[in-house]
Structure 1
């Protein structure tokens, strides 16, 4: 495989298999949503499997593509991808078994020994996946890639994805109602919740189910884990735009734009986490949330304009000659130059 192309054989096979399995299960879940009227916690029984297949499938193929860029420690990268596949694949199988075949709530369910055992295995699979991605983040620090902007996007995207996974750990703290039961010396049937300041299963956004009455930790969790896709797509988009706009042909400038995108994305992720932890619905932000969001947007836009309009040696660190051409820039990757 060259740096300018990716063959199917070069992709991590276990992750490709996981992606294919999620695609098949996604179709099954869609059919289930149409023909199966059962519900769990006031939500269609097939809704969670459907959402998980979309999220896991897209994540798995992204990770498979990411691992093709790993040169130093490629064998370690292969094993990390395999561990992720085992952990998440096991979790997905248990989601289907617990919800579809047993007809019982999955997350936070402590009602019976079987429910507790399944929850523990699911938690183990999630932690295994989290540790695998953490190790991939470290592995990426030692890679040298042909495009510095894409390099930054891959590293920061994977790091933010790791933070998004970590948000899920906040869901496993007892709610006030569960804490009151524990204070009485009893064991609540559930332990933890997606929502903060509202009950799981209450009014939520269509299809997504995110709470419209209180905070919902699934929102920053979702936004965080998919940074691994959004940020590299921004970097790749800048490479494509560089074919038409000379301003973006500087690899250094594109890298700064990506870093600014990382700042904006991190700001949104942090605000959503802060909002959820305060028990505030994403559809009902207060003044503090709106001001924080406005500040992130304003700073992101201002920095982007500054990066694109920079002249001479400055914040981008470029030395320019009399014609305004960067002397130390790195060119657009060869495959894009050849098409021009």
Structure 2
């Protein structure tokens, strides 16, 4: 039986969470302004064009804001509670980006910077806003668990993405501890992205992820955006179901979604382990290679077993219907 599915839908954009949408618009503008800054401003900070940081943070925040604005609009229970939590997140992210831009204009770093009372105050303010955003995200994610959709595969994908996103955001806390070199030298920079080396060494273009040492930004970034990746995989499965009838079963799509979640979580764990060992993401050793190979093999075998299993085909359900 071939199923026909509509892509993930929901209320019209006009009904999405407005503060987060306004934040998304501001971030889109900041991306354009920051790209212009990279063109006209030749300053370099920690090995990258000084405006590259605001490009990265604005893009990431834009994606976050749009995703959560859409999800909050679909809630039928605890919606007002989630609306306020989303507003707290929007304000906190706005504060964080303002500080980043201020520090770029001043020609100094925003993160881990205690070199002057002003820099310390700005970093502490940013840290407080980050904690507020993370807490608000946890609360909205909890609301998602109280609002299952009529399609169990979609429910699983959204819940899994939310949980991994919260975990990925929490991994950022690993960067705030002083390194052994900082403690030995009484440095006024407390915390680092890079493990085993000082920040600012050779890195990937734009991203800046270290190519010579471990970098905690890798698992942090991967984890935060699980909320987009896992539901997107489900969308791909629903679209593929039009051509491959075996994917017409909600049970099969849900099972594959769970495999993707387990694979994503395992990859997140390996990348965190790799970074903490001071190893660059682009230069994995044999141990990391074996771990990644094991994850790939387990994922492949699991998907094959799911596709070969005899599961009951379920009638398609379009998101935007009963919730």
Q: Report if TM-score (shorter chain) is over 0.5.
A: yes
Paired residue secondary structure (1:163): helix
Matched ranges for 1:34-45 at <5 A: 34-45=39-50
Indicate conservation of the 8 Å contact 1:12/1:67, yes or no: yes
Deviation digits for residues 131-163 of structure 1 (CA, Å, limit 9, x no counterpart): 011112211111120211111111110110111
Change (3 A) 1:143 1:174: same
Residue 97 (1) aligns with residue 96 (2): no
* 1:331 match: 315
Indicate conservation of the 8 Å contact 1:157/1:231, yes or no: yes
Give the deviation of 1:335 after TM superposition: 7.9
Deviation digits for residues 160-197 of structure 1 (CA, Å, limit 9, x no counterpart): 0111111110001111111112xxxxx42200100001
Matched ranges for 1:183-262 at <5 A: 187-262=186-261
Give the deviation of 1:301 after TM superposition: 0.6
Task: Give ranges in structure 1 of 5+ residues lacking alignment.
Answer: 182-186, 312-317, 319-325
Measure, in 2, the Cα distance between the counterparts of 1:7 and 1:120: 38
Measure, in 1, the Cα distance between the counterparts of 2:11 and 2:140: 19
Paired residue secondary structure (2:281): coil
Which residue, 117, 122, 147 being the options, matches 1:118?
Answer: 122
Higher relative contact order (CA 8 A, sep 6+): 2
Report the structure number with the largest CA radius of gyration: 1
Which residue, 87, 90, 94 being the options, matches 1:82?
Answer: 87
Measure, in 2, the Cα distance between the counterparts of 1:4 and 1:26: 27
Residue correspondences, number: 313
* 2:163 match: 159
Give the deviation of 1:103 after TM superposition: 1.4
TM-score w.r.t. length of structure 1? 0.89
Give the deviation of 1:4 after TM superposition: 5.1
Paired residue secondary structure (2:74): coil
Give the deviation of 1:198 after TM superposition: 1.3
Deviation digits for residues 258-290 of structure 1 (CA, Å, limit 9, x no counterpart): 000001111111111000000001111111100
Change (3 A) 1:172 1:334: closer
Give the deviation of 1:330 after TM superposition: 3.2
Give the deviation of 1:69 after TM superposition: 2.4
Which residue, 16, 22, 32 being the options, matches 1:17?
Answer: 22
Residue 7 (1) aligns with residue 12 (2): yes
Residue 28 (1) aligns with residue 12 (2): no
Task: Give ranges in structure 2 of 5+ residues lacking alignment.
Answer: 1-7
Paired residue secondary structure (1:68): helix
Measure, in 1, the Cα distance between the counterparts of 2:192 and 2:319: 49
Give the root-mean-square deviation of aligned CA atoms.
Answer: 1.5
Query: Runs of at least 4 residues of structure 1 off by over 4 A?
Result: none
Indicate conservation of the 8 Å contact 2:11/2:74, yes or no: no
* 2:62 match: 57
Give the deviation of 1:243 after TM superposition: 2.2
Deviation digits for residues 27-75 of structure 1 (CA, Å, limit 9, x no counterpart): 0001111110112223211010011111110111011111122111010
Measure, in 2, the Cα distance between the counterparts of 1:123 and 1:50: 20
* 1:302 match: 301
Matched ranges for 1:131-146 at <5 A: 131-146=135-150
Deviation digits for residues 76-107 of structure 1 (CA, Å, limit 9, x no counterpart): 1111110110111110011101122x211110
Measure, in 2, the Cα distance between the counterparts of 1:235 and 1:63: 17
Give the deviation of 1:6 after TM superposition: 2.7
